[in-house]
Structure 1
Amino acid sequence: MLGSSDPQNARPASLDAIDLSMLAELERNGRLTNAALAARVGIAESTCTQRLRSLRDRGVIRGFRADIDPAALGLTLQALITVRLGTHGREQIRGFEQRVRSLPSVLTAFHVAGADDYLLHVAVESAAALRELVLEHLTTHPHVRHVETQLVFEVLEGSGMVPREPVHPPHV
């Protein structure tokens, strides 16, 4: 399936300049109405509706969601936690991933290559809650061999996935 979240089966979607413009606008503001999006991109509303449906159907747009400030929910402490497993069988990996998905403090989990196996971005209400998360929910997992925690001082937003302006090569 095009746009699949399975990296082994994913193929780049065929996107034209209008698709990219639509994606850039939605990346900035996912709450744009169809009329506003069509006006910003310079296409008819009916065309915009069809293109949006196509982008969703192809898996390019995976969904829309609110970007909630963890601090607004009392989760004022964020951390990155690296996890190294002792064994790497399918069942052990599935078991660990199932535990991680069930923890309400985990914002994002990445299965990574390198010395560590997972990188977890978590948000908790206090240092005590972070300690409990690590000691009671991660290090107690039977296949976890090593855990390292780094506090997040600030989260900086990147530029996003869609280029905002055409990139022109420098003139020599």
Structure 2
Amino acid sequence: MKKNIRPLDNTDLQILALMYQDASLSNKDIALQVGLAPSSCLERVKRLQADGTIISQHLLVDMKALGGHIQALISVRLSDHNRATVNQFQTDLLPLPEVMSIFHMGGENDFLIHVTVSDSIHLRDFVFNAVTARKEVNHVETALVYDHQVSHTLPNFN
């Protein structure tokens, strides 16, 4: 969460774009590409972290290497929409090892859960045991993911 909203200059945006594309870049490499001294670049990165612009850095892993041979998106509609129910649903599901991400949405469905599982039996059991067994769940639809690509281009809203 942003602590302090401040305008980002072109150098900040260049740093963010490079880190968004490859978070493993060294400070020295980033500094070279944006034309700053490494110490100045590091100060900017620390400021972007301190003000909440950079929230965290993540590692992308090929789930197949871990045994996650199937990915699916599970659409969930709840029968009860109070804040406690919505929060508890997310709190309970997010730590499960199959869950990659949860989207709380407006529209026909309340949640979209991105999961990875070992096989179709694992997917069926996950949906039955972790999702449809919950009393607040009214409707569930599961769609298999054939391919998943992630953009490494930082959005530009200027």
Q: TM-score range by the shorter chain?
A: over 0.9
| Aligned 1:47-126 pairs, distance under 5 A | 47-126=40-119
TM-fit CA distance, 1:158: 2.7
The 3-state SS of whatever aligns with 1:107 is: strand
TM-fit CA distance, 1:28: 1.3
The 3-state SS of whatever aligns with 2:107 is: coil
Residue of structure 2 aligned with 1:43, choices 36, 39, 49 = 36
Q: Give yes or no for contact 1:55–1:61 (8 Å, CA) kept in 2.
A: yes
Instruction: Give the corresponding residue for 1:33.
Output: 26
**TM-score, normalization: structure 1?**
0.85
Percent identity among equivalent residues?
A: 35
The 3-state SS of whatever aligns with 1:65 is: coil
Structure 1 residues without counterparts, runs of 5 or longer: 5-10, 168-172
TM-fit CA distance, 1:138: 0.2
Distance of 1:129 and 1:41 partners within structure 2 = 47
Distance of 2:84 and 2:131 partners within structure 1 = 17
Q: Give yes or no for contact 2:21–2:152 (8 Å, CA) kept in 1.
A: no
Distance of 2:18 and 2:154 partners within structure 1 = 12
Q: Is 2:148 the partner of 1:155? A: yes
Matched pairs, number: 157
Distance of 1:54 and 1:46 partners within structure 2 = 12
Structure 2 residues without counterparts, runs of 5 or longer: none
Q: Give yes or no for contact 2:67–2:118 (8 Å, CA) kept in 1.
A: yes
| Aligned 1:138-149 pairs, distance under 5 A | 138-149=131-142
Distance of 1:55 and 1:40 partners within structure 2 = 18
List per-residue Cα deviations over 1:67-109 (Å, max 9, x = no partner): 1111110101000110000011122112211221231101000
Distance of 2:131 and 2:141 partners within structure 1 = 11
Structure with the larger RCO, 1 or 2 (CA within 8 Å, 6+ apart): 2
Distance of 1:89 and 1:157 partners within structure 2 = 32
Q: Which moved more, 1:96-105 or 1:128-137?
A: 96-105
